[in-house]
Structure 1
């Protein structure tokens, strides 16, 4: 669900616009590799949406490419469950020479959000290159990174000498659809040893332009390293009444009771919270800005009790969300007939919980805010893992920053926390610290992710390939 979607785009754009970014050295040359682009094309053009496509078909094609590169049966694991045969995934393991260094894991989801041809300007399942961009469903979220991971595994297989550290790749299904078979969850629960790693690299990081792609004369303004994310949790609010004939209304009405409850949910503000990542982000991103909000961000990072600074920061919806758990009504259903009093009214409230908060704590806070025992608040899905924020470990951040200085000279690297969610919730919950890496970049408009005419800049894809290959080598050699 997150490619370049850590939720910091607008502030990073404003912050970076106030900087005079000067290149201190020419970045390494980046070439266009035909085999890599062909890999990208093949997986984009294989529909892997849950409604009309098949992740298993993508995994088939990935397996074929790995086997062509020399991977054996012992190095490839396919997985699926009988009731979800089209939602299978693949794990590849390239064993390193070291007996002490723990593996690293390259994580990616291969499913995409459904796209309807009649709504798009171009066929969403045909990779089209136009105006310096690749268009197609999944080009940004996240088959660009999938293709880079596949290409990395193929290239590493041919490296002599080989890596010291074992490198693993897990491409899974189910990230884009809550409640479906989720391969990252299944692997973390059932095949933990197969994907065991000291840390994992995942989607969620990236870069941001000033509003135009580099091929359009724009510039890259900031890079982000995602370190942690909120946890996704839905709650079901339910109000019930005996019902009756609509010609004889009564004071108790399930729809009205639910409406009052939703008004209170809408008005409720969870308390402010910081962790190491968000405090560092507010301090550093705030210092980059030359406006009232930037000054308030810095002040708040130093003193979370600064009510005046919080009031300024809360005017920005993204910054407001970074500071707390948020809950919002997203769906309602009520009544059973046009001429009858409602017997039941329900609503879905979608919450994004700040790391460290449990679903039960959040449920209790909602129930207290509603203050009506006639409206129940229940977890829509139970036993979901909680997001665990990894540390800002110099062993992880050091190579990222060092290579960023080579490939993106003068561009700052900031830690960020995602307001959305990814499969890192499963791997992180299983004890594998998971980071969203920079490398590829996008534009502040979102490049059509989850929407129409999704795209990625060609230069972004090719540079991301080069940067991330060097990053994996820096960790594994």
Structure 2
């Protein structure tokens, strides 16, 4: 029934659907099946999605020794898929294609259409996960099937891991689990992951391709003020809410030093001419290592550029008081810090403690393991990406980019596997509604990105 629905949608879709190549039609059906399999934590199952992708690999000739579903004990819905194509040169380190198949929850009553049905409308694919991140997962599976059909024998072994738990922090994380329990399935010389993307103008024309080289590490803290409280008819100067407000003001004033590394210097050098104007000139200067106060002030005036240059801490949640007619006995806030690669949690915590007023408690929330280790800006990674970009996206530069958010790549990089977010799929300036209602991506962007990434995989698989 699902397959029939996909065929009907294809036949009744836009004119572009009728012009698809046979290989694109096959890919679209993989993509459709992934999107139409609910993998959100509240109502879905990654294990079901992984099983459906395994079925496709089995039909393509991947036996149990080359593809399987794994399910962490006690997490029956949080399974994933591991697969491989053996390389011809045992001296060449394997490469890993990794991606998460879980998605953010989507309630039917919030959407004008079924979020777990792949819709094609006005040049866009629409549905939960179409961009975050099932397009890339479908490309990884599709690439294995295409290489198998072509009889391609890579020089280095190509491994694939589709995992769960990236979006749902309460569940087990599939990448972390594999590293702890099935290290052989993901051990590699380098990994390709989500996090890279293309940026476009308002008309969808590509401007640059971002290749993610490193990411920041998220660590949350709780700050709390306490008081004996009392009746609201007898207010006092010592008030837990006022004390928390003073602490929050201290956090707002807190600033960490900027850090320049090869990735953000490369970003500012290459993006400066594209941005242009006073900002573009300042970006170019910063990319050249000129970190004078005026240059830094100009660039960090943009919140995104500021986040790419330093550790940041910001208040994200507040909870206070226990009754509207009582003085508060407790007031607390969550502070989330995003650590620049190389900064230590202990040092950030110490700086927070020093900034906070006396009497405010500070507690670190959870243990997310070791911070991500930034991978090198390796010409063996950048070179093929740039060469193929000129074939698939003529005139569009590949730009190294430091992710200010986080991915599962932090587990791999901390384990000694350099991990890069590959570009190819070009996003709209508004972010395409990822995590929101009517998440969408241009149809052309998906097909163009697929072609680029397939060529890139083969180039890396054959490279030295």
TM norm. shorter chain > 0.5: yes
Can you list the C-alpha shifts for 1:221-265, whole angstroms capped at 9, x where unaligned?
Answer: 111111111111111112222233333333332222111111111
Matching residue of 2:139: 148
Aligned position for 1:434: 419
Q: Paired residue for 1:31, among 21, 46, 67?
A: 21
Q: What does residue 67 of structure 1 align with?
A: 58
Aligned residues: 443
Tell me if structure 1 keeps the 8 A contact 2:54–2:68.
no
Unaligned runs of 5+ in 2: 1-18
- The 3-state SS of whatever aligns with 1:382 is coil
Q: List per-residue Cα deviations over 1:299-350 (Å, max 9, x = no partner).
A: 2233454001111112211111111111111111122223322222221111
Structure 1: 5+ residue runs without aligned partners?
1-28, 214-218
Question: Offset of 1:113 from its aligned partner?
Answer: 0.9
| Deviation by residue 1:287-309 (Cα, 9 ceiling, x = unmatched) | 33331111111222334540011
1:63 Cα shift? Answer: 1.1
Q: CA separation in 2, counterparts of 1:58 and 1:89? A: 8
Q: What does residue 333 of structure 1 align with? A: 319
| Equivalent residue, structure 2, for 1:400 | 385
2:87 counterpart (85, 96, 105): 96
Alignment-derived partner of residue 168 in structure 2: 177
Find out whether 1:84 has 2:75 as its counterpart: yes
Give the corresponding residue for 1:43. Answer: 34
Choose the corresponding residue for 2:186, options 185, 195, 201: 195
Question: Does residue 460 of structure 1 match 2:445?
Answer: yes
Structure 2 residue 278 is matched with structure 1 residue 288: no
**Alpha-carbon deviation of 1:161?**
4.6
**Contact kept in structure 2, 1:30 and 1:466, CA below 8 Å:** no
Q: CA deviation at 1:180?
A: 2.7
Q: Does 1:376 align with 2:370?
A: no
CA RMSD of aligned residues (A): 1.7
* DSSP 3-state at the match of 2:78: strand
Q: Equivalent residue for 1:4?
A: none
What CA distance in whole angstroms lies between the structure 2 residues aligned with 1:397 and 1:301?
18
Tell me, in whole angstroms, the C-alpha distance in 2 between the residues paired with 1:429 and 1:476.
23
User: Which is further off, 172-181 or 194-203?
Assistant: 172-181
Q: TM-score, normalised by structure 2?
A: 0.92
CA–CA distance in 1 between the matches of 2:86 and 2:170?
34
3-state DSSP of counterpart to 2:387: helix
Aligned twin of 1:386: 371
Counterparts of residues 201-280 of structure 1 (less than 5 Å) = 201-213=192-204, 219-280=205-266
Written as runs of structure 1 = structure 2, the 5 A alignment for 1:292-331 is 292-331=278-317
Partner SS for 1:74? coil
Q: CA deviation at 1:53?
A: 1.3
Of the three residues 155, 174, 177, the one matched with 1:164 is 155
In 1, Cα distance between equivalents of 2:382 and 2:285:
25
Partner of 1:12: none
Alpha-carbon distance between aligned partners in 2 of 1:93 and 1:303, rounded to the nearest angstrom: 42
Q: Give the structure 2 partner of residue 359 of structure 1.
A: 345
Aligned residue for 1:85, secondary structure, equals coil
